[in-house]
Chains A and B, each alone.
Chain A
Amino acid sequence: MRSRVDVGRRGRPRSNRLRGAVIAAVMIAMTIRTMPAWAKPERIVSMNLCTDQLVMLLADRERIASVSYLAADPHASALAGDVAGVRINHGLAEEILPMKPDLVLAGAFTTRPTVFLLRRLGYLVVELPVAANLDDIRSNIRAVARAIGEPRRGEALIAAFDGKLPPQHPNSGPRPRAVLYWANGYTSGKDTLANAAVEAAGFRTLGSELGITGTSQLPLETLLAADPDVLIVGRERDGPALANETFRHPALRRAFATRPKVSVPDYLWVCGTPFVADAIARLSAVREAGRHEGRVGVADK
């Protein structure tokens, strides 16, 4: 509302006053729902697990009108414990419109029809791409911080993230080979966050070596034949799932009976949040432990 006053005060000739007022009125009508970049959004709605967590890390709680139901899922969200008191949405326009959001955060792949509907109705929707590497985490933090008008907090969060990463010495010590193994026998290769995290922890990954891009199925035979030093598995979900059978395969259990098997909870790296640094630290510790015991580096000829 302040902009109308500002425009009106400018000492324009009278004939131009009216036109100025009209332009101002039109501008205000346009900006009521598409908030101008200089104003801090006060009713932020996030419809995506990853934007949920970033906005909870960056914005004051009273400015967050709602986060997605996944943010409260302790398996998927690192901030599930902090969601209490924030309204939950399921990415439906009917839930979001009554909140009268001045900023909607969404993922680039989820809730497509709702995003387009909200845009069509004039709401400001900021979409965040899926983070595929550590740089994407930084740019996503920056994007959310800018959208909510907290660029300084964004830079501070990035600095904290970078501070938690293990120091990179490209040629220090062996780079043992790790394999990422998810439910249903999937592995991740290039352009995936998990792969980038494992490499940042000082490992080589089987996914990268096999030339896999994205997430795709890895035959158990290929895994065993490659004889990796460390097995990194996703946390088994509760409830019966055929998907989990892959972890219980006798051949896999025997092969990794004496080698380190690490499980990293999904919530640490399913999204491009600073929590990925915790996953990296955890993996990095496994590598260090293995190096001291002289076990992990053995296969690194």
Chain B
Amino acid sequence: MTADPTIAERRREGTPVLLPLLAVAVLAAFTASLLVGPAAIGVRETIDALLAGEVETTALIVREVRLPRALLGLLIGATLGLSGAALQGFLRNPLAEPGLVGVSASASFGAVLTFHTGLAGLFALALPLGGMAGACIGVVVVQALAGRDGSPLTLILAGIAVTSFAAALTSLALNLAPNPFAALEIMFWLMGSLADRSFEHVWLSAPFMVAGWLLLATLGRPLDALTLGEDAAQTLGFDLRAVRHRLVFGTALCVGAATSVAGAIGFVGLVVPHLLRPLVGHRPSALLPASALGGAVLILVADVAVRLLSPSRELKLGVLTALVGAPFFLFLVLRLRKELL
């Protein structure tokens, strides 16, 4: 544990201020998410609707439409931020993102299959359940492909293989869609959205997301050790195989559940850890909670923006995060290049 003094030093740098700040931002974004929507409801009415027991339209909208939506935004944002930070830490690769381990693509395919077979039309949870089944199969295949060793490279390759195959199957399902309306619905779903999700979705996905978080939260110290290199980490007593298992299963649990209810939402898991890394002194263990909060802020804000920009015909959330995320990422790359020169 020779690295400990420096870590302790770094801890003093930014995190004590950063985490509470981010938590306040999450709270603000969550509140904004409750206040914004096509139905004009004032701040006072929203609070009344949340607290009072009346069953009126306003209360119905706030409690059954906006609250689950805001909760899912919070949960999914935290999931994407946390898993992105964990993956970038483990692979020591800034391009890693939650979709890398193949769960997003396989969850998407599982969900699309329920559209295709018509199951999605029968009951509300068919779609997310299909997504979770897809995610399970995806993670088993990735683990089998990645082999016994804890090497990051084999994990990346296995993840890419599963992602490409699942994406191809999704395209095939789209290609063979029973009618143009179903194809359109599948495409819209794939773009990612939180519109009109209900508490059913929250109750279904939250336990898996929280379980995934708990697994990923244990990775702080091994990830810190990994910054010294694989060999050094192993010498420090960390079993990289076990670390990888926890990483993959943790990511699969939370990202699989997130994708199952909201579709694929890109760039959050990629950009948020980048943005926050310098602020936590480049320490993976400190980045995990910060990135989780940051992801939640970003998704909640994006979901508010989606509703403000086009109140009636909603932009898809995944489209917006990619639209904002890609130029921002470009900016990061340019800045990085300047630093290197």
Contact flag A117-B198 (CB < 8 Å), given A112-B127, A112-B185: yes
A189 to chain B, nearest CB (A): 12
CA distance A119 to B196 in the complex (A): 12
CA distance A215 to B127 in the complex (A): 24
CA distance A219 to B210 in the complex (A): 50
Contact flag A215-B57 (CB < 8 Å), given A69-B312, A112-B185: no
Among B39, B66, B185, B198, the residue within 8 A (CB) of A116 is B198
CA distance A110 to B184 in the complex (A): 9
B169-219: which have CB < 8 Å to A? Answer: 177-182, 184-185, 195-198, 200
B residues near A117, Cβ cutoff 8 Å: 64-65, 124, 196-198
A68-118: which have CB < 8 Å to B? Answer: 69, 90, 92-95, 97-98, 100, 107-114, 116-117
CA distance A97 to B39 in the complex (A): 9
Q: Once the chains bind, are B200 and A114 in contact (CB under 8 Å)? A: no
CA distance A98 to B58 in the complex (A): 8
Q: Once the chains bind, are A112 and B39 in contact (CB under 8 Å)? A: no
A interface residues, how many (CB within 8 angstroms): 28
A residues near B195, Cβ cutoff 8 Å: 92, 113-114
CA distance A97 to B127 in the complex (A): 24
CA distance A127 to B123 in the complex (A): 13
Contact flag A109-B179 (CB < 8 Å), given A94-B39, A94-B65: yes
Closest residue of chain B to A32 (Cβ to Cβ) is B55
Most buried by A among B37, B57, B66, B195: B195
Q: Once the chains bind, are A93 and B121 in contact (CB under 8 Å)? A: no
CA distance A214 to B183 in the complex (A): 12
CA distance A295 to B123 in the complex (A): 53
B interface residues, how many (CB within 8 angstroms): 30
Q: Does A126 contact B (CB under 8 A)?
A: no
A residues near B312, Cβ cutoff 8 Å: 69, 90, 92, 95
A202 to chain B, nearest CB (A): 25
CA distance A251 to B61 in the complex (A): 56
Q: Once the chains bind, are B185 and A94 in contact (CB under 8 Å)? A: no
Q: Does A130 contact B (CB under 8 A)?
A: yes
Q: Once the chains bind, are B64 and A94 in contact (CB under 8 Å)? A: no
Q: Once the chains bind, are A112 and B314 in contact (CB under 8 Å)? A: no
B residues near A127, Cβ cutoff 8 Å: 121
CA distance A27 to B12 in the complex (A): 63
CA distance A109 to B177 in the complex (A): 11
Kindly supply a per-residue 1/0 record for chain B positions 31-61, scoring 1 wherever the CB is within 8 Å of any chain A CB and 0 otherwise: 0000001110000000000000000010011
Among A92, A97, A107, A192, the residue within 8 A (CB) of B57 is A97
Q: Once the chains bind, are A94 and B124 in contact (CB under 8 Å)? A: no
A128-184: which have CB < 8 Å to B? Answer: 130, 132
Q: Does B120 contact A (CB under 8 A)?
A: yes
Q: Once the chains bind, are B196 and A113 in contact (CB under 8 Å)? A: yes
A residues near B57, Cβ cutoff 8 Å: 97-98, 100
Q: Once the chains bind, are A94 and B61 in contact (CB under 8 Å)? A: yes
Contact flag A114-B121 (CB < 8 Å), given A92-B38, A92-B314: no
Q: Which residues of A contact B (CB under 8 A)?
A: 69, 90, 92-95, 97-98, 100, 107-114, 116-117, 119-121, 127, 130, 132, 192, 214-215
Question: What are the nearest 10 A-B pairs in CB distance?
Answer: A116-B124, A109-B181, A113-B196, A94-B39, A114-B196, A90-B312, A94-B38, A117-B198, A93-B196, A94-B37
A–B complex contacts, Cβ < 8 Å, 7 sampled:
A95-B39, A98-B61, A113-B195, A116-B123, A120-B64, A214-B178, A215-B180
